[in-house]
Structure 1
Amino acid sequence: MKYYQVTMLVRGTKQNFLIKAKDRADAIAKIRKDYQGTLLRIKQTAAPVDATIKEFFSQFRSTVANRKVQPKNLIAAIRQLAVMTNAGISVHDALNEIAAATNDQKLKEILTQASENINAGLSLSETFRRYRYDVGGITLAMIELGEQTGNMAEALGSLADILEEIQENVAKFKKAMRYPLITLGAMAIAFTILILLVVPKFKSIFEKFHAELPLPTKILLGIEHVLSNYGLYVLLGFITFIALIVYLYRNNDDFKYKMDKLLLKLYLIKDIIFFSTLNRFSLVFTELVHAGIPIADALDTATSMVDNAVLKEKLEAVNVAVSRGVSLTDAFRDTGVFENMIIQMIGAGESSGQLDNMMRKVTDYYRMRFNYILDNMSSYIEPIMLAIIGALVLLLALGIFLPMWDMAQAVQGH
């Protein structure tokens, strides 16, 4: 939402006020509906500080209070629903059974509501569409496919397979990142303890000699002074900074786009994001095309699964180009995202009418590249970790022993 400074002429008097709207057209529509007078000027302006703070805490509370469905619970529920519908049990009864068995409160709420809506005459897709944020676009697409083909069990089984593979990739990434995060945390704690416990003892020695201290020692003493006197404020400031970054990333599209663009330039992170994103996109797109969903709809659903705003923008251009009559191969080529080998594979599949089979090979390729990065994460990160450890040890050593060496020379000189 944006804020607009509005100037209106009301009964011969100019009046200024702020209005909140999605865009300029929406702001003008609200003015015409809710205000009487002549619109003189409307100009976008920055949000008031009090409104920004109020919105921040409102969003933060809603984020904390919002209970999302756990992916593993959703996958288990979909797998159960597929088995039960395949056994001839009605969707209504199956939803009631699964809702009674699950411990996930949000999922229980969704399934119970779905059962009631089906009993009232609504379809399963109409019910789940209200919970798109919780269940995801791919879930809606596969349920709609099951309703169209009349084979809900097969559609739900394929959906569970897709969600399981996506979840496995997420789990692999978290596992690969666990080691470097724990190591960095341990290093930070150890360095802080040394600064707070060891450096002060040498500080009193250095002060007795009133000698000019070398730069590494000044840096250590400066860090010790900040942590000793403002450590709590530093910690609170760091937590606030991280919380602000997360908030802006989730709620500000411009900030998210710039951050995503930056992440695609960082060492190792860019490859993880790139190959994981294309693996997920090609996986979903392949399964939807194989299931008989039109290419335009498959592209739309697969693109909605992309988190990185920069890659999402480029992949959305594929759907736009295809809707204008451009071939899928040319549309993928124009994005500049896919390498020439992939373009040739897609072109061969499109010309031979076996696009889904060729896209499976593309998915396998991106899965292989993504898994290779995760399996060799340690070899990529170890040089960075060693460099950080070496820099900290060198700083401590130089900061403490250089002045000690100078003092020893001064004593020998006397």
Structure 2
Amino acid sequence: MIGSKDKARAAVYTQLAATQKMGLSLGKAVDRLVEKGGYGALMLADVRGPLLAGDPVEEAFEQSEAISPLEVKVIAAGAKAGSLPQVLANLAERYTQRAATKAAFVGKLAYPVFLLHLAILFPSIPLLVSSGTSAFLQATLIPLAVGYGVVFGLYVAYHQGKQRAPRALDNFLLRVPVVALIERRSSLADGLRALELLYANGVPVLESLASAREVTPNVVVGDLFERVAHRLADGESLGEAVALEDDLPDYVIELIATGSSTGQLDDMLGKANARLEEEVQTARSLLVKAIGGIAFGIAALFVAYQVISFWSNLMNQVNKIGGG
């Protein structure tokens, strides 16, 4: 199911947040979730022992391969700052939103996918009567197999590219129309969300920027966090450092500069992230509409080809009978 893993993570963090609000120790809360089994046990099994033994929160959560470095840093910062219930609730909200976004995007793709299947299956129905089941299956399964093969091939190529040549693949994605906007804005939103979560929980800005770069999905976009950190280390203000980044939208630069000067950086980062996510949603909707239009065009061409072929074959048979 699309987004099921994100929903499961959100549920785990929601339960942890609830137990922290009740005053239960983090070690006992983790122990309870592990005993319940399910995804909580998968996430936290390696965390339970170190926590119950009294190890620091960060060291304990680092033992789980199912928990990302960003989550580890945010949880450790929340525990240190005394805001762990809110941090856990924020993580739950983040994964709930991710699950909803994935489900909505896939749901919007259902219509163009349906059109393509209908275009292949419906015109071939007469073959069931005229030529039998084998002819129908041959006329439909081969195009469907080719289509599924192309999709699977693109999926494999993407993941192989991410493993072997991530920078080259990310550069390519940033040059594809519409996809580039989605890739740039969504990656930037992820990085800013990490920066917001860490900074709001007391992590120094330079360390927060380093973590933001690590979790940014597109490595090319993530480089900007490193450049900003270098400028800060050289003595520039945060507002001055981000103002030099051409890849940052003007409103992001303005919000960060305002937050830095007023002491409300975490709030301004939240607002910047919200606007970026709105842009991503709009761009994804446009992409789905474009895919729908292309699918409709392909379906229309395929149906036209099938109809023309049917009538052409029929006329040829009539002519042969008449000529005979």
TM-score scaled by structure 2? 0.77
| 8 Å contact kept, 2:30–2:48 | yes
Structure 2 matches for 1:94-243, cutoff 5 A? 94-104=29-39, 107-131=40-64, 133-188=65-120, 193=124, 227=142, 241-242=153-154
Q: Which stretch has the larger CA shift, 325-334 or 118-127?
A: 325-334
Amino acid at match of 1:245: A
| 8 Å contact kept, 1:349–1:357 | yes
Residue 251 in structure 1 maps to residue 186 in structure 2: no
Residue 71 in structure 1 maps to residue 22 in structure 2: no
* Runs of at least 5 residues in structure 2 that lack an aligned partner in the other structure: 133-137
Residue 293 in structure 1 maps to residue 203 in structure 2: yes
TM-score scaled by structure 1? 0.62
**SS of the residue 1:307 aligns to:** coil
| 8 Å contact kept, 2:111–2:292 | no
| 8 Å contact kept, 2:191–2:222 | no
Q: Distance in 2 between matches of 1:114 and 1:269?
A: 38
Q: Distance in 1 between matches of 2:151 and 2:294?
A: 24
Per-residue CA distance 1:225-250 (angstroms, 9 max, x = gap): x959xx98x68975874574255234
Amino-acid identity (%): 20
Q: Distance in 2 between matches of 1:410 and 1:156?
A: 77
Residue 275 in structure 1 maps to residue 185 in structure 2: yes
Per-residue CA distance 1:171-225 (angstroms, 9 max, x = gap): 333333333334334445557x579879989xxxxxxxxxxxxxxxxxxxxx97x
- Structural RMSD (CA): 3.9
Per-residue CA distance 1:312-349 (angstroms, 9 max, x = gap): 33444333443343433344344422222332332233
Which is richer in helix?
2
In structure 2, the partner of 1:27 is none
In structure 2, the partner of 1:352 is 262
Q: Distance in 2 between matches of 1:371 and 1:123?
A: 39
Structure with higher RCO (Cα < 8 A, 6+ apart): 2
1:198–1:94 distance in 2 versus 1, CA, 3 Å: same
Q: Distance in 2 between matches of 1:135 and 1:363?
A: 23
1:145 Cα shift?
0.7
1:140 Cα shift?
0.8
The one of 271, 274, 277 equivalent to 1:367 is 277
1:112–1:347 distance in 2 versus 1, CA, 3 Å: closer
1:158 Cα shift?
3.0
Tell me the number of residue pairs that the alignment of Structure 1 and Structure 2 aligns: 315
| 8 Å contact kept, 2:193–2:273 | yes
1:179–1:394 distance in 2 versus 1, CA, 3 Å: closer
The one of 21, 39, 58 equivalent to 1:86 is 21
Larger Rg: 1
In structure 1, the partner of 2:135 is none
| 8 Å contact kept, 2:109–2:288 | no
Amino acid at match of 1:358: M
